[in-house]
Amino acid sequence: EIVNAVDNGALVVNYFGHGGEDGLAVERILLKPDVNGFRNYCKLNCFVTVTCEFTRFDNPFRETAGEFTYWNKQAGAISLITTTRQIFVSFAVSFNNTLGKYLFSYSDDDAYDDNEYPSMAEALRLAKSDPKVSGINQKRLIFFIGDPAMKLAFSKPNIRLTKINDVPLAQATDTLKALSYVKLAGEVTDVSGNLLPNYNGTLSTTIYDKLIDRRTLANDGTRLNGELVILDFETLGEIIFRGQSTVKNGQFEFDFVVPKDIGIPVGFGKVSFYSKNEELSLDQSGASINTLKIGGINENAAEDNTGPVITLYMNDENFVSGGITNEQPTLLAKLEDLNGINTASGIGHDIVAILDGDETNPVILNDYYQTEIDDYTKGTVSFPFRELEPGLHTLTLKAWDVYNNSSISEIQFIVFDKDQELAINNVLNYPNPFVNYTEFWFNHNSSEPLDVSIQIFTVSGKLVKTINGQTTGGFKSTSSLSRDLIWDGRDDFGDKIGKGVYVYKLTVRSNILNKKVEKIEKLVIL
C-alpha cells in the first residue's frame, strides 16, 4: 500500500514508528528493494520519517534506505526530512505535530498566510525553532536532504460547489439517494472567491460517502493499567464517484448515478476537487464539506439487470491476448455501463483482479478507476504490476455497475525476463495490402529503446528497401507495442516500386543485452 501510494503521486509521505537503515517497521513494510522499485515518475515527493537511523548518511560503508530514496534517479523523493539516529517517542510526537503546522502552513506563529507556504527546509527550521522543540537536543538528529529553496507543489485555492440538480446551493434540499441521478455544478475561483472567467481545463472530482467510525483491533496485546488499548478514530467514507469534467470559463458541471452500496442513513459526505488548466500552468483545488447530504434509496429508480462491458489490455490498447510483456506490465481495463461503475466498495462489490486463479490475494482496483471526461458511463482502470514471474499468466477481472450487476473478463499474457531474453511477437504491417502508406507493428518485452531494421525483398530475393529506426522507450514508457517505423512504398532510390507481393525481414536488437531477434513476414502493394 505504501508503494502504491507513492507511485500514485502522494505529495508528502510521513512515517512515524520503528525504522532503521534497511527500511521501515519490524514488519518490513518498506525495504531498499521497494525503494529502488518506486515508479512515481515526475511525481516526486517529500519523504518525512520520524523514526531512527533511516538516513544515517555518515557511514560510507553502509548505504541506508533513506539514501536510496533520494538517490533514485527517476523516482523516489525530491527531498527528505529525516532522522539519522535513534529518537524517543515523546520527542517524536511533539516534533511531528510541530513540523506539520509549518509544512502545511496552518501555524499562527509564523509570518506566512494560510495560503502561503515556506520551503520544506524553512518549515524544518521553523519547527526546530518552535518552543515545543527548540530546547530538546534530539532536534539535531533531524536533517533536510534536498534543495533548501524548494517548496511543495501545493495547488491554489479555490474550487467550490454551487448547484445541486440545477438548484443553487443555498436553496438546495436534495439528498443523494442510492440509484438517483445527480447533476452537480461549480466554479473555479481565486483566493478571494472571485470567478476566474479565463480558466479552462479539466476537473477531477472525488465524492466520499459519510465518515466511518472505526476502532483499532488491539491485536498486538498492548495494555495500559491492565486494560487492552483500543483507539477510536474516523476515516473518510467510501468513494461513491470519481470522475473528470471540462472547466470552461471557470465553470463546470457533471452528472452520475449514485451507487446502490452507499450507507443508507442520511449524513454529510465530502466532495474533493482538483483542476489543471490547459496550459498546465495553474492547478486549483477545493472541497465541499457539510453541504452534500448522502443517504436513503430512490424508490423510483429505473430497472437495470445488465452488467458492465469490460475490455482488458496489457500496457496499451493495441495489446492482443496472449501477447508478451516485461515483468512490470500495466493492466488497462476499459469499463462501460449505462448507469456507471460501482466503486463504493459494498461487500463483495469491488473491482477485483485475480492473477493466475489466486483468489487468496485479490487486487482491489476501486482506487485506480477514473471516468472519461464528461462521461460517467465509461472509464478506465490503470494498475501497474510489479516483478511478475516469467511465463504465461491469466488475469481475470470482475466489476459491478452501480445497480450491483456484475461482469467478468479474462486476458492472458506472457512475461519474458527482459534482462535475460529479448522477445517479439505479433509482427505485422498495417494496413496490408496498402498503396503508399503502412506501419510496421510488433510487440516486445523491453522498456528500453531497441534498434530496429526492416529489409524488404522481392519474392526472388532482391533487396529493394532498408528502413532503420528505434522503438520509443525510457522510464516513462509502458507500451510493449512498437509502431514507430513507416514506409511509403518507395525503394532506396525514392522510386515507386511495382504492385505485388514482397517479403520483409524485421531485425530487432537490444544493445543492453547484446542480443537480436529476427522475424520474416509478407506484405502486398496495390
Extract the residue ranges of the chain whose pLDDT is less than 50. Answer: 475
C-alpha 10/C-alpha 367 separation (Å) is: 13
Q: Three cell numbers at 77?
A: 523523493
- Please report the beta strands in 416-493, taking only residues with DSSP state E, as ranges in sequence order: 424-430, 438-444, 451-458, 463-470, 481-487
Tell me the per-residue pLDDT of 428-460, one tens digit each, with 9 for 90 and over: 999 999 999 999 988 887 767 888 999 999 999
pLDDT value at residue 397: 97
Q: In a 3-state reduction of DSSP, which class is residue 153?
A: coil
Cα 399 to the center of its chain, rounded Å: 19
Exposure on the CB side of residue 403, measured as CA atoms within 13 A:
16
Element spanning 355, H or E: strand 352-355
Question: Would you say 141 and 53 are in contact if contact means Cβ atoms under 8 Å apart?
Answer: no
Q: Three cell numbers at 163?
A: 448547484
User: Is the whole model's pTM more than 0.85, yes or no?
Assistant: no
Backbone angles phi, psi at 252, to 5 degrees: -150, 160
Domains of the chain with CATH codes:
2-145 (3.40.50.1460), 156-297 (2.60.40.1930), 309-415 (2.60.40.650), 424-525 (2.60.40.10)
Tell me the per-residue pLDDT of 171-191, one tens digit each, with 9 for 90 and over: 878 899 999 999 999 999 998
C-alpha 410/C-alpha 415 separation (Å) is: 16
The number of beta carbons lying within 10 Å of the beta carbon of residue 253 is: 18
Q: Three cell numbers at 486?
A: 513507416
Strand order in the sheet with 181-188: 167-168, 159-164, 181-188, 251-257
Place of cell 472505526: 214
Question: Would you say 452 and 443 are in contact if contact means Cβ atoms under 8 Å apart?
Answer: no
- Please report the beta strands in 67-200, taking only residues with DSSP state E, as ranges in sequence order: 77-83, 142-145, 156-157, 159-164, 167-168, 176-178, 181-188
Tell me the per-residue pLDDT of 105-141, one tens digit each, with 9 for 90 and over: 988 888 888 888 999 999 999 999 999 999 999 999 9
Q: Residues 35, 40, 44, 49: what is their CA dihedral angle, to the nearest 10 degrees?
A: -30
pLDDT value at residue 81: 96
- Spatial CB neighbours of 477, under 8 Å, sequence gap ≥ 6: 447
Query: In terms of Cα–Cα distance, which of 1, 4, 6, 16 is closest to 82?
Result: 16
The number of beta carbons lying within 10 Å of the beta carbon of residue 519 is: 15
DSSP 369-436: EEEEBTEEEEEEEEEE--SPPSEEEEEEEEEEBTT--EEEEEEEEEE--TTT---EEEEEEESSSBSS
Tell the burial category of 153 from Cβ atoms under 10 Å away from its Cβ (0-12, 13-18, 19+). middle
**Pairing between strand 223-224 and 167-168?**
unpaired
Question: Could you tell me which residues are beta bridge partners of residue 88?
Answer: none
pLDDT value at residue 471: 79
DSSP 315-327: SSTT--TTEEE-S
Question: Would you say 110 and 102 are in contact if contact means Cβ atoms under 8 Å apart?
Answer: yes
DSSP 172-225: ----EEET-EEEEEEEEB-TTS-B-TT--EEEEEEEE-S-EEEE---TT--EET
Question: Would you say 418 and 470 are in contact if contact means Cβ atoms under 8 Å apart?
Answer: no
Q: Three cell numbers at 502?
A: 514482397
The number of beta carbons lying within 10 Å of the beta carbon of residue 523 is: 21
CA distances from 515 to 394, 424, 454, 510 (A): 28, 12, 17, 5
C-alpha 83/C-alpha 63 separation (Å) is: 14
Place of cell 507556504: 117
C-alpha 321/C-alpha 394 separation (Å) is: 10
pLDDT value at residue 303: 92
Tell the burial category of 171 from Cβ atoms under 10 Å away from its Cβ (0-12, 13-18, 19+). exposed
Q: Three cell numbers at 189?
A: 475561483
- Angle at which helices 120-129 and 89-103 cross, to 10°: 130
pLDDT value at residue 295: 94
Please, where are the H alpha helices in 8-64? 32-36
